[in-house]
């Protein structure tokens, strides 16, 4: 292809043509040479264009043999994506300012390679320009204003063609990106990752809730067991206390009977009949006031000292009763309505 020819190849071809078709040489060979329309003029014109980098780029930009078409969004394009789009991208890579141009690749390309490819083409910079198609040459203007006008018109026409060219390339890239099976796979992979992350997050949240509920249940169960244990302990203690009180009450009852029988058998330790009522009443107070231990000690003392121990216990209990009565009177609220 012509655009692949190096500067050295073009130079060699030009020299070969000059040596063969130069007018002086042809005249020397007896050939008639017409100055106005001689084909050597074409050779010189070609060298003028191809021998200069800027003019050659302008000439190559409008290669009539270049295929500007892009694939359609058809089932064939989707089914044979790499076979259809690969050659098109390679063909258009010719216009790239930047080299090297990444290849489209195939299904086994990595995401990094695919991303690099599309990043390159979405930011594609083309050196293609259209000055070769200028309708008028600026230098042919008669004055500065006309030359300026011609230059403006030429630039506008080139800009329009350049814009159309970039739109064409962008359409190619957009279409390829849309139906590229690798992009579809990457999107699906990303979706699966997002769903997996979402599921993992939901599962973690659910596990957290379940753990919190488990801890609450365990705490409630522990509290319940502790409460039941405390209640059982309290109940057992109450039962024990009740049983002890019942035993104590029984022993107290027995000890009171022993005391009464002892006092009664000794005629309540009276010396005359006038003491009988006092001692009987006092015995009731002693029996009701003293504790089991005190009663036990009193019975033992009476068995030893008889009347003396009995009278001492009466006096002690009477003092205690009187002391309690006086304390009650002092602590009881006074009747505000009572007259002084």
Residue pLDDT, tens place only, 47-75: 888 888 888 888 888 888 899 999 999 99
Is 75 a domain residue? no
Considering the domain boundaries, does residue 269 fall inside one?
Answer: yes
For the residues 264-277, what does the mean pLDDT come to? 82
Overall domain count for the chain = 2
pLDDT band for 193, please (50, 70, 90 cuts): very high
**321 in a structural domain:** yes
What per-residue confidence (pLDDT) applies to 334? Answer: 66
> What average pLDDT score do residues 247-260 get?
87
pLDDT beyond 80 at 138: no
In tens, the pLDDT along 177-189 reads 999 999 999 999 9
Residues near 339 by Cβ (< 8 Å), separated by ≥ 6? Answer: none
Alpha carbon distances (Å) from 250 to 41, 188, 255, 257 = 150, 90, 9, 11
Query: Of the residues 10, 25, 51, which one is the last residue of a structural domain?
Result: 51
Tell me how far CA of residue 267 lies from CA of 270, 286, 306, in angstroms: 6, 16, 11
The answer to whether residue 24 sits within a structural domain is: yes
Residue 40 lies in a domain: yes
pLDDT computed for residue 106 by the predictor: 96
Instruction: With respect to residue 173, please indicate whether it lies within any of the assigned structural domains.
Output: no
The whole-number pLDDT of residue 335 equals 56
Q: Out of 9, 29, 51, pick the residue that ends a domain.
A: 51
Nearest to 109 by CA among 74, 137, 85: 85
Enter the pTM of the model. Answer: 0.60
3-state SS, residue 126:
strand
Residue 194 lies in a domain: no
Share of residues in the chain with pLDDT > 90 (%): 44
Q: Of 178, 151, 148, which is closest to residue 70 (Cα–Cα)?
A: 178
The answer to whether residue 89 sits within a structural domain is: no
Instruction: Give residue 36's pLDDT.
Output: 62
User: What is the mean predicted confidence (pLDDT) over 193-220?
Assistant: 95
Residue 338 has pLDDT above 80, yes or no: no
Q: How confident is the model at residue 85 (pLDDT cuts 50, 70, 90)?
A: very high
pLDDT at 4 over 90: no
Which pLDDT score is estimated for 14? 87
Half-sphere exposure of 20 (CA within 13 A, CB side): 8
The position carrying tokens 């405390």 is: 230
Range of the domain at 42: 1-51
Instruction: With a cut of 90, say whether residue 166 has pLDDT above it.
Output: yes
Name residues whose C-beta falls within 8 Å of residue 104's C-beta, 6 or more positions apart in sequence: 82, 85, 86, 89, 90, 117, 176
99, 127 Cβ separation under 8 angstroms:
no
Whether pLDDT at 295 is above 50: yes
Q: What is the pLDDT of residue 340?
A: 43
Q: Which of 18-22, 41-45, 199-203, 311-315 has the highest mean pLDDT?
A: 199-203
């Amino acid at each position: 292809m012509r655009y692949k020819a190096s500067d050295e190849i073009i130079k060699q071809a030009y020299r070969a043509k000059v040596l063969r078709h130069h007018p002086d040489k042809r005249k020397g060979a007896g050939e008639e040479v017409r100055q106005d329309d001689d084909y050597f003029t074409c050779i010189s014109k070609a060298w003028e264009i191809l021998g200069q980098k800027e003019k050659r780029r302008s000439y190559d930009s409008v290669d009539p043999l270049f295929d500007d078409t892009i694939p359609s969004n058809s089932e064939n394009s989707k089914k044979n994506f790499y076979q259809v789009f690969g050659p098109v991208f390679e063909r258009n890579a010719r216009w790239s300012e930047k080299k090297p141009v990444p290849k489209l690749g195939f299904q086994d390309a990595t995401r990094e390679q695919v991303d690099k490819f599309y990043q390159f083409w979405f930011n594609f910079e083309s050196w293609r320009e259209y000055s070769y198609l200028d309708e008028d040459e600026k230098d042919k203007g008669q004055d500065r204003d006309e030359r300026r006008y011609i230059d403006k018109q030429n630039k506008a026409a080139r800009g329009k063609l350049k814009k159309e060219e970039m739109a064409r390339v962008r359409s190619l890239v957009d279409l390829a990106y849309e139906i590229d099976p690798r992009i579809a796979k990457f999107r699906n992979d990303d979706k699966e990752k997002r769903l997996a992350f979402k599921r993992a997050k939901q599962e973690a949240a659910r596990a957290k809730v379940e753990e919190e509920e488990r801890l609450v249940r365990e705490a409630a169960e522990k509290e319940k067991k502790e409460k039941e244990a405390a209640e059982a302990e309290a109940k057992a203690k109450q039962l024990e206390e009740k049983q002890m009180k019942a035993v104590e009450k029984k022993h107290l009852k027995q000890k009171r009977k022993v005391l009464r029988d002892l006092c009664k058998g000794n005629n309540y330790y009276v010396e005359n009949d006038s003491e009988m009522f006092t001692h009987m009443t006092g015995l009731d107070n002693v029996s009701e006031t003293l504790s089991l231990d005190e009663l036990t000690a009193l019975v033992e003392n009476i068995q030893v000292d008889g009347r003396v121990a009995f009278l001492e216990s009466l006096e002690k209990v009477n003092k205690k009763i009187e002391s309690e009565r006086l304390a009650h009177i002092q602590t009881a609220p006074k009747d505000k309505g009572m007259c002084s």
